């Protein structure tokens, strides 16, 4: 069955450092992969989408990589800030553009 794995332990990081989150998937051949941010008591918010033929995508302080051989995506927050504290969810996506299937998410806590 399809499985999406993200670090279950919270990532505690000092302000200014780079946070790196991992998303591994099995029994998937996604054409795209999305990353979302979710704050407590709120719905997920779309951050970035990367295509299978893109190795890397950047948006401001965020960087995503997508390795279809390793079946893995890495999500980096550079120069992290306390406002970056949230749970980050990955969602591999095939071509159907219907439902999203999410990993459990990784909580990031950035301390001053």
What are the distances in angstroms from CA 98 to CA 93, 94, 101? 9, 9, 10
For 72-87, b/e burial (b = at least 16 CB within 10 A) is bbbbbbeebeeebbbb
Closer to other proteins by CB, 97 or 112: give it. Answer: 97
User: Taking a C-beta distance cutoff of 8 angstroms, is the pair 75, 33 a contact?
Assistant: no
Closer to other proteins by CB, 17 or 51: give it. Answer: 51
CB of 15 to other proteins, least distance (A): 26
CB of 14 to other proteins, least distance (A): 25
The binding site for other proteins (CB under 8 A) comprises 4, 32, 34, 41-46, 49, 51, 89, 91, 97-105
CB of 58 to other proteins, least distance (A): 17
Which helix H or strand E contains 67, and what residues bound it? strand 62-67
Closer to other proteins by CB, 9 or 83: give it. Answer: 9
Closer to other proteins by CB, 30 or 44: give it. Answer: 44
What is the CA 64 to chain-centroid distance, rounded?
8
CB of 112 to other proteins, least distance (A): 26
């Amino acid at each position: 069955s399809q499985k999406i794995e993200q670090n279950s332990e919270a990532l505690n990081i000092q302000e200014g450092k780079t946070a790196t989150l991992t998303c591994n998937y099995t029994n998937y051949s996604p054409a795209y992969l999305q990353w979302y941010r979710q704050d407590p008591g709120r719905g997920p918010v779309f951050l970035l989408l990367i295509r299978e033929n893109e190795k890397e995508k950047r948006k401001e302080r965020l960087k995503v990589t997508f390795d279809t051989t390793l079946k893995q995506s890495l999500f980096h927050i550079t120069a992290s800030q306390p406002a970056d504290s949230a749970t980050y969810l990955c969602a591999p996506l095939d071509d159907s553009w219907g439902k999203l299937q999410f990993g459990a998410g990784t909580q990031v806590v950035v301390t001053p």
